[in-house]
């Protein structure tokens, strides 16, 4: 993340902190701690930037859920049967972030799907199918590899 983008995110962070805690002295507000040096960090930076900028963004999780096995107590020994994962209700290949970006020239916010791919991460076949389906219906779908790339896209998209 370059210095300009880091400063922008930090300024938005401090503005939000001051708005949430108006009686707290500005000089004591902490700096923004997250960085884009991991998949989770990059995802957090993008979601925070959009939310602090007056848009809406949320991280999407479609891993399903784990159901633990049954515990068996036979007095002298205790056992637990093997648990299992059940499929989630979401669509396979769904983007990591679902955002709604408000543009001044539009009456309603524009839905944007953002897939985060850090370093050598590659899209799965299900993700490519989802991306293709989004393009087929004219939706906005982007793949982000670092915060600077996201900011370049954001500036172009919102101007």
pTM of the predicted structure, to 2 decimals: 0.83
94-121: pLDDT as tens digits: 999 999 999 988 999 999 999 999 988 9
pLDDT at 40: 93
The answer to whether residue 41 scores a pLDDT higher than 90 is yes
Q: How far is Cα 92 from Cα 83, in angstroms, rounded to an integer?
A: 22
| DSSP letter string, 127-141 | HHHHHHHHHHTT-EE
Could you report how far apart the first and last alpha carbons of the chain are, in Å? 21
Domains, the chain, ranges and CATH? 35-62+88-158 (3.40.1350.10)
Strand partners, 79: 72
Of the candidates 79, 77, 61, the one whose C-alpha atom is nearest the C-alpha of residue 69 is 79
Q: How far is Cα 77 from Cα 74, in angstroms, rounded to an integer?
A: 5
The answer to whether residue 85 scores a pLDDT higher than 90 is no
Query: At which residue do the structure tokens 């300009």 appear?
Result: 4
Q: How far is Cα 13 from Cα 107, in angstroms, rounded to an integer?
A: 27
Confidence of residue 43 (pLDDT cuts 50, 70, 90): very high
Query: At which residue do the structure tokens 């590899």 appear?
Result: 145
């Amino acid at each position: 993340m370059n210095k300009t983008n880091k400063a922008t995110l930090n300024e938005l962070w401090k503005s939000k902190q001051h708005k949430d805690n108006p009686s707290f002295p500005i000089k004591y507000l902490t700096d923004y701690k997250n960085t884009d040096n991991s998949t989770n960090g990059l995802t957090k930076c993008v979601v925070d930037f959009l939310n602090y900028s007056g848009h809406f963004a949320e991280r999407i999780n479609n891993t399903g859920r784990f159901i633990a096995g049954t515990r068996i107590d036979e007095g002298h020994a205790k056992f637990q049967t093997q648990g299992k994962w059940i499929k989630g209700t979401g669509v396979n290949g769904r983007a990591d972030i679902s955002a709604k970006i408000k543009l001044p020239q539009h009456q309603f916010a524009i839905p944007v799907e953002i897939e985060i791919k850090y370093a050598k991460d590659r899209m799965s076949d299900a993700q490519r199918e989802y991306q293709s389906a989004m393009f087929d219906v004219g939706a906005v779908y982007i793949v982000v590899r670092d915060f600077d790339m996201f900011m370049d896209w954001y500036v172009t998209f919102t101007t």
